[in-house]
Amino acid sequence: MRNRNNRLICTSEYVSINGIDQFLYHLGTSFDNPVMLFLHGGPGSAESLFTGLFQDRWEEIYTVVHWDQRGAGKTLTKNPDKLPTIDLMLQDLFEVIQYLKKKYNKKKVVIFGHSWGSVLGSIFIRKHPEEAEYYIGAGQVIGMVENEQVAYNKLKEVIEQAGDKKSLKKLESVGEYPGSKIVFDKEFLRKCNIVHKLLGKYKLGMEMGIDIWIAMFKSPIFKFSDIIAFMKIFKANSKVHSFLGDFNLRRESKEYKVPVYYILGERDWQAPRVVAEDYFKDIKAPSKDIFIIPNAGHFLMMDQPDLVFDALSKISKKEKSRQYSNN
């Protein structure tokens, strides 16, 4: 594997986790830095191929480890029949952290959750607060039904303001959306596809620009099997989608035992920034802070890499200071 930046730490490997070989990709500049475990989105959308777009400066302050989760990326390619449930993924996550703590001689790790990864991370830090130094949620998901309702309402407002009758007719053809509970069946997916295409048209949703695909092909760990894995993720993650459809952080206690930080894209309506901001106001944690990244959407790390790095630097400094004062 090519070590593009001549990093001290540059390793890709398969590790036996919870009975199957799972893929980890490590990048960093010092064994003394905190270890950050990056939980990717989806479910099933491994982001280990895109590190070149946003991560170079992160590696100066963290050893960043990408994990292709069960049902995603290289782990899915290696284990096409070992498919995820939420319970399996939480156990996988626990075992990955045990492996990283031993490998890097750390007592805890920093957990960074993006999109679906923010769901997995938020559940995990409630279940195992002793494993996390602190938690960072990016594109933080609060609840799927609320997220889709807020995104739909914003989209309708923008389309009406634009006087776009054709798009409004398309949107209204969806009918009630998303309903009181999300079930990932064919009918919901049909409606979801219409809504999210319109979100993309008005730059309110997820944008996969050409630069993202170029970065994927240039990645030192890219293989053509990664494309095949990406095409299989929806079917592979069907049981996790069932869980995700009913997910709602507001039903849980707002008290956290670990520091919590959110980094949100100002124009993110995929996981609406306004929903996460509203929820964040009421949480209680040993330390907390929120960073709104201007002119950034759901892929905020790729939209504004320098500003996201600035937020991470502030979080890192704040945590070092807090830990120093506690000792």
- 33-51, pLDDT tens digit by residue? 999 999 999 999 999 999 9
Q: Is there a single domain that holds both residue 128 and residue 42?
A: yes
What pLDDT is attached to residue 4? 64
| Confidence grade of residue 183 (pLDDT, cut at 50, 70, 90) | confident
Q: Which of 201, 220, 237 is the last residue of a domain?
A: 201
What pLDDT is attached to residue 3? 65
What pLDDT is attached to residue 141? 97
Can you name the residues that pair with 137 across neighbouring β-strands?
113, 262
Can you name the residues that pair with 45 across neighbouring β-strands?
41
Res 259 pLDDT > 80 = yes
4 is a domain residue: no
Q: Which of 57-71, 77-91, 173-187 has the lowest mean pLDDT?
A: 173-187
Q: Is there a single domain that holds both residue 139 and residue 156?
A: no
| Confidence grade of residue 23 (pLDDT, cut at 50, 70, 90) | very high
Q: Which of 154, 172, 201 is the last residue of a domain?
A: 201
Res 5 pLDDT > 70 = no
Q: Is there a single domain that holds both residue 253 and residue 187?
A: no
Specify whether the CB–CB gap between 252 and 100 falls below 8 A: no
289 is a domain residue: yes
2 is a domain residue: no
Average pLDDT, the chain: 94
Count H helices and E strands in the chain, helices first.
14, 8
260 residue type, one letter: V
- Which CATH number goes with the domain that contains 296? 3.40.50.1820
Length of the chain in residues, anyone? 327
Q: Is there a single domain that holds both residue 176 and residue 278?
A: no
What pLDDT is attached to residue 6? 78
Q: Is there a single domain that holds both residue 41 and residue 183?
A: no
More confident residue, 324 or 214: 214
What pLDDT is attached to residue 2? 60
227 is a domain residue: yes
Q: Which of 126-130, 204-208, 216-220, 258-262 has the lowest mean pLDDT?
A: 204-208
Q: Is there a single domain that holds both residue 134 and residue 161?
A: no
More confident residue, 311 or 217: 311
State how many domains the chain has.
2
Q: Is there a single domain that holds both residue 46 and residue 81?
A: yes
pLDDT in tens, 185-219: 889 989 999 999 999 888 887 766 777 888 888 89
Q: What average pLDDT does this structure show over 60-72?
A: 97
Write out the residue range of the structural domain in which residue 161 sits. 146-201
DSSP state string for 50-111: GHHHH-TTGGGT-EEEEEE-TTSHHHHHH-TT----HHHHHHHHHHHHHHHHHHHT-S-EEE
320 is a domain residue: yes
Q: Is there a single domain that holds both residue 235 and residue 139?
A: yes
Which tokens go with 51? 């590190």
Q: Which of 5-9, 55-59, 164-168 has the lowest mean pLDDT?
A: 5-9
pTM of the full predicted structure?
A: 0.95
What pLDDT is attached to residue 122? 98
Q: Is there a single domain that holds both residue 129 and residue 54?
A: yes
What pLDDT is attached to residue 130? 98
What pLDDT is attached to residue 326? 73
Q: Is there a single domain that holds both residue 87 and residue 31?
A: yes
220 is a domain residue: yes
- Residues contacting 201, CB < 8 A, separation 6+: 167
Task: Provide, rounded to the nearest whole percent, the portion of the chain with pLDDT above 90.
Answer: 84
Q: Is there a single domain that holds both residue 232 and residue 291?
A: yes
Sheet containing 35-39: which strands, arranged edge to edge?
A: 9-17, 20-28, 63-68, 35-39, 109-114, 132-138, 260-265, 288-293
What pLDDT is attached to residue 275? 98
Three-state DSSP state, 33: coil
- Residues contacting 267, CB < 8 A, separation 6+: 203, 204, 273, 295, 296, 297
Q: Is there a single domain that holds both residue 173 and residue 82?
A: no
Q: What average pLDDT does this structure show over 67-78?
A: 98
Q: What average pLDDT does this structure show over 66-87?
A: 97
More confident residue, 5 or 127: 127
CA dist 176 and 33 (Å) reads 49
